[in-house]
Amino acid sequence: MTVSDLYTLSPFITIAAAPIVIMLVISIYRNHLVTAILTMVSFIVASFFAYDVSAIVPWTIGDLLIIDQYALFYLGLIFSASFVITLLSYGYLKGREGNLEEYYLLLLTATLGSSVLVASNHFITLFLGLEVLSVSLYALIAYVRTGEQGIEAGIKYLILAAASSAFLLFGIALLYAQLGTMQFDELARRLPTSNATSILVMTGFSLLVVGVGFKLAVVPFHMWTPDVYEGAPAPVTAYIASVSKGGMFALLLRFFLVVDGYSYTSLLLIFSIIAIASMFIGNFLALMQNNVKRILAYSSIAHLGYLLVAFIAGGNMAVEAATFYLVAYFITTIGSFGIVGILSDKETEADNVEDYRGLFWRRPWIAAVFTGMLLSLAGIPLTAGFVGKFYVLSAGVGSTLWLLVVMLVVNSAIGLYYYIRIIVVMYSEREKAAEAAPSVPSFALGGGIILAVLLLLLIWFGVFPAGIMDVIKSMALSLG
């Protein structure tokens, strides 16, 4: 390990050292605000190092990690999202009973796991990153123990995540048995010279799809999603829907490009079936829900189906389309669950559709922001979500994936209904608002600033996407 290696690893070292420093601070002086500030400072410092390291990449750390523009872009996205979620978490947890400081330790370790995923070049780092992320999420999901839902959600996620990890490990073992390596680059070199269609290789890849499919919550591995989304605290749900899935998708995209998984038509067929099933099942089940968090949960399943269209397309255009879509999805998802968190109180979460009836007349600014987030999820013009879907459609058309393109268009129309339904409820008459559920808690200054920034980014990327697309295109070139 050289000095250059340590410098390149500085974003990871920062995130790994932060929980240790914060634990020492907590042991001396336990304060919720101080802990939240230290956590946010850690993400800012890690982001600075990620930017500074960009001058010397690409850089490999043994056979385990590869730090390139692709990894650094996703590190920046993950750190930024984690910073926002930390700020929203402070407002959400403030005033609640119990020790709140350890929550931020878990948030940092989960971010470390997700960060390792995006730079992985080996099955060992893949599994370590995934387990650090998953174990942290078990506790985060059940952290607020004032009700049974959170503990139930944590246990469900624990059991199903353990099962998915077993599938993933078995798939890795089969590939290692056939190819004798766990490094992605070496796998790519050995696959063409080995019996790439052997039972061991195809079964190994299939088991990997099962393990990854669970983390991405695509059909038929989505069973945990609505219950966990509903039971977890709103900021944790935002984290699972954005950072957790984003890290895993970035890993999947890198892995498939490196090992040329696009040459296996059977795997592409499997992903195509998963994409279509995720779009239809996610949207149709969302239509049947009256709980906002469950609606957003099934919506996220559908959105991963849309994202898989770009993934299946392959090539640089797919990387660009998928990455921009993820950026837009991060903004809208964190913004949507941030609003749920701001409207929640210490006893109950504002997760029923009726809780939002007449919200415009009580809190017009919150209603306006939530409207923007929902319209972006629906893919309405002048939002980042519309541009994201346009790029995904372009990638699908460019690869002549006509069936997937048609399915995407049809399902986007279906999804429009349940987004508009929430918007209509928010703008219902003032008289009906008086019959709505409990009054809305006061608007937190920190949460208000974050929501304003997210709304501005949503519109800016929807109207002027060229700037960030230039960055994404240069990043995509680093994958070759």
Question: What pLDDT score was predicted for residue 353?
Answer: 85
Residue 464 predicted with pLDDT over 50: yes
CB 317 within 8 A of CB 67: no
- Of 101, 94, 96, the residue nearest 145 (C-alpha): 96
Which of these ranges, 98-112, 272-286, 327-341, 428-442, has the smallest mean pLDDT? 428-442
pLDDT reported for residue 445: 54
Q: What are phi and psi of 272, to 5 degrees?
A: -65, -45
What confidence tier does 404 reach under pLDDT thresholds 50, 70, 90? very high
Which of the given ranges, 112-116, 159-163, 195-199, has the highest pLDDT on average? 112-116
430 alpha-carbon distance from chain centroid: 36
pLDDT digits (tens, 9 = 90+) for 375-397: 999 989 989 999 999 999 998 88
pLDDT of residue 443: 44
Q: Given a cut of 60, is residue 449 above it in pLDDT? A: yes
Q: What is the pLDDT of residue 59?
A: 81
pLDDT in tens, 265-311: 888 899 999 999 999 999 999 999 889 999 999 999 999 999 999 99
Q: Which of 149, 420, 414, 425 is nearest to 282 (CA)?
A: 414
**Amino acid 446: pLDDT:** 63
The whole-angstrom separation of Cα 182 and Cα 175 is 8
For residue range 48-71, list pLDDT tens digits in order: 998 888 888 788 888 888 888 889
Question: Alpha-carbon distance 51 to 54, whole Å?
Answer: 5
Q: What is the DSSP string of 211-276?
A: HHHHHHT-TTS-TTHHHHHHHS-HHHHHHIIIIIHHHHHHHHHHHHHHTTGGG-HHHHHHHHHHHH
C-alpha torsion sign, points 417, 282, 356, 452:
negative
Q: How many Å apart are CA 424 and CA 170, to the nearest integer?
A: 48
Report the DSSP beta bridge partners of residue 122: 183
User: What is the per-residue pLDDT for 440?
Assistant: 45
Domain ranges of the chain: 264-480
Question: 10 Å Cβ neighbour count for 448?
Answer: 15
Beta partners for 65?
Answer: 61, 120
φ, ψ of residue 441 to 5 degrees: the values are -60, 160
Q: What does the alpha-carbon distance between residue 225 and residue 43 come to, in Å, rounded to a whole number?
A: 27
Query: Residue 189, CB half-sphere, CA atoms under 13 Å: how many?
Result: 7
The tally of CA atoms less than 13 A away on the side-chain side of residue 251 is: 32
Going by pLDDT thresholds of 50, 70 and 90, the confidence category of residue 40 is very high
- Residue 7 and residue 331: Cα distance in Å, rounded? 30
Closest CA to 361 of 290, 475, 439, 417: 439
Query: Quick check: 332 and 373 in contact, CB under 8 A?
Result: yes
The length of the chain is 480
Query: Mapping DSSP to helix (H, G, I), strand (E, B) and coil, where does residue 96 land?
Result: coil
Cis before 58 (ω within 30): yes
- Is the pTM value of this prediction over 0.85? yes
Strands, E assignment, 79-148:
none
pLDDT at res. 355: 83
Identify the pLDDT of residue 430.
59
Structure tokens at 386: 């519309």
Nearest-5° Cα angle at 202, 123 to 255:
35
d(CA 306, CA 245): 14
Percentage with pLDDT > 90 across the chain = 46
Confidence class of residue 194 from pLDDT cuts 50, 70 and 90? low
- What DSSP string describes 267-331? HHHHHHHHHHHHHHHHHHHHHT--BHHHHHHHHHHHHHHHHHHHHHH-HHHHHHHHHHHHHHHHH
Cβ burial, residue 48 (10 Å; 0-12/13-18/19+): middle
CA–CA distance from 259 to each of 165, 245, 479 (Å)? 21, 21, 12
Q: What is the residue-averaged pLDDT of the chain? A: 87
Binned at pLDDT 50, 70 and 90, residue 76 comes out as very high
Q: In 3D, which of 176, 35, 45 has the Cα closest to residue 99?
A: 35
* Residue listed under structure tokens 């346009």: 390
Q: Using CA atoms, how far apart are residues 142 and 150, in angstroms rounded to an integer? A: 5
- Give the DSSP H or E segment for 415: helix 402-426
Residue 341 DSSP label: H
